[in-house]
Amino acid sequence: MADFIQGFWSLYIAIPTVLGLVGVFCLAWRLSSRPAAGESTGTSGHVWDEDLTEYNNPLPRWWLNMLYLTIVWGLLYLLAYPGLGTFKGLLGWSQQDAYEAEMSEADARYAPIFARYADQPIAEVAADPKARKIGERLYATYCTGCHGSDARGARGFPNLRDGDWLYGGTPEAIEASITNGRQAAMPAWGAILGVDKVAQVTAHVEQLAGRTTDSAAAAAGQAVFQTHCAACHGPEGQGNPLMGAPNLSDDIWLYGGSTKKIAESIQDGRNGHMPAHGNLLGPARVHLLAAYVYGINQAP
Ligand code: HEC
Ligand code: HEC
């Protein structure tokens, strides 16, 4: 358990909890005293609208009994379950155990279903409608937050259904991306090249993508590109899946395709990070997910 609720902090939580219950009990006890037979209850002493007074009657018996019951219930609950600082409760129940029990139950239920596909090649799994349904559900749980519910991505998070791959679209490459994650390293060139050369190489990159740009700037930018960029992006800017260097000639942009955004990518660098999911999901689920991602790119 966290350090926060050790020692002093444990008491800091437990004592006010118990005092609160005792306090409610004492208050209820005091308010429950009834007048002796024949005696009247008197009024509270408050007067409104000249002659409107308030009786000081005891609380109804049924209401008080309900309150006592809730106090007893609260005490029994705190004895049985964790609630008083670090005291674990007599039943030994814990959130962590309950979560793990649920997870292992789910694993036992789904493992045989997943295992059926684990040994099949991804292309075959992708063609199986049932497997695709399972993959779709896994995708919705684990991937939509970054790649979007339709897998079309967002700025900085690649579109997974456009057939344009950073790391390659073979079943093996997709499975590796999911299992091990990916870390892109596009260096920042602003300080090395200076503003003018960044503008020139931006013009050249736009030209590679098939746009018409200032041809003098683009020509100067080509020299910069061959010196500093071709090693990763290739001499024609066609990209290199070995390091996730994107194709710059297809006019598909991970970080935005305006002149300003392209210049920003070059000036400041980019470091996209895909977290590894192998340990979290296990190989059988990753296999189904890879088949799902592969499959949505094969669909007509
Ligand atoms: C060390 C390898 C490497 C070098 C050198 C390199 N890049 Fe990159 N570049 C990458 C990677 C990897 C990415 C993808 C970054 C990501 O996914 O976060 C990238 C991304 C980009 C992008 C964004 C593409 C998009 O789709 O939004 C542009 C533009 C770009 N690079 C241009 C250049 C230019 C121009 C140069 C030379 C001045 C250059 N790169 C040099 C590896 C490199
Ligand atoms: C925290 C955000 C995040 C989550 C969650 C995430 N991804 Fe990614 N993913 C990324 C980013 C960012 C990249 C691009 C990395 C780069 O720029 O090099 C990426 C890249 C990929 C790639 C490689 C794409 C290519 O063009 O080669 C695949 C495949 C992929 N993700 C699949 C998945 C699947 C399947 C899941 C769900 C299990 C998932 N991702 C969950 C952020 C995420």
**Confidence label for 4 from pLDDT (cuts 50, 70 and 90):** low
Q: Which of 180, 181, 173, 182 is nearest to 122 (CA)?
A: 173
Mean pLDDT of the chain: 92
**CA–CA distance, 151 with 161 (Å, rounded to integer):** 6
**237 Cα–ligand 1 center, Å:** 10
**Confidence label for 7 from pLDDT (cuts 50, 70 and 90):** confident
| CA separation, residue 224 to residues 61, 200, 218, 245 (Å) | 89, 8, 10, 17
Pocket flag, ligand 2, residue 143 (CB < 6 Å): yes
**CA–CA distance, 227 with 288 (Å, rounded to integer):** 42
Two structure tokens written together for 230: 């071709």
Q: What is the model's pLDDT at position 30? A: 84
Q: What is the model's pLDDT at position 255? A: 97
For the stretch 89-130, pLDDT in tens is 999 999 999 999 998 998 898 888 888 899 999 999 999 999
For the stretch 171-227, pLDDT in tens is 999 999 999 999 999 999 999 999 999 999 999 999 999 999 999 999 999 999 999
Q: What is the model's pLDDT at position 78? A: 93
For the stretch 43-70, pLDDT in tens is 878 888 888 988 877 788 899 999 999 9
Q: What is the model's pLDDT at position 152? A: 95
Side-chain half-sphere CA neighbours of 93 within 13 A: 10
**277 Cα–ligand 2 center, Å:** 10
Long-range pairs of 96-102 with CB within 8 A, sequence gap ≥ 24: none
State the ligand closest to the CA atom of 255. Answer: 1
For the stretch 220-242, pLDDT in tens is 999 999 999 999 999 999 999 99
For the stretch 135-146, pLDDT in tens is 999 999 999 999
**177 Cα–ligand 2 center, Å:** 7
**CA–CA distance, 232 with 183 (Å, rounded to integer):** 14
Angle at 79 between CA 75 and CA 83, to 5 degrees: 90
**73 Cα–ligand 1 center, Å:** 63
Q: What is the model's pLDDT at position 3? A: 58
Q: What is the model's pLDDT at position 242? A: 94
Q: What is the model's pLDDT at position 300? A: 61
Pocket flag, ligand 2, residue 137 (CB < 6 Å): no
**71 Cα–ligand 1 center, Å:** 65
User: Of 146, 150, 174, 293, which is best to mutate to test ligand 2, by the most ligand atoms within 8 angstroms of its C-beta?
Assistant: 146
Ligand 1: atom nearest CA of 224 is: 38
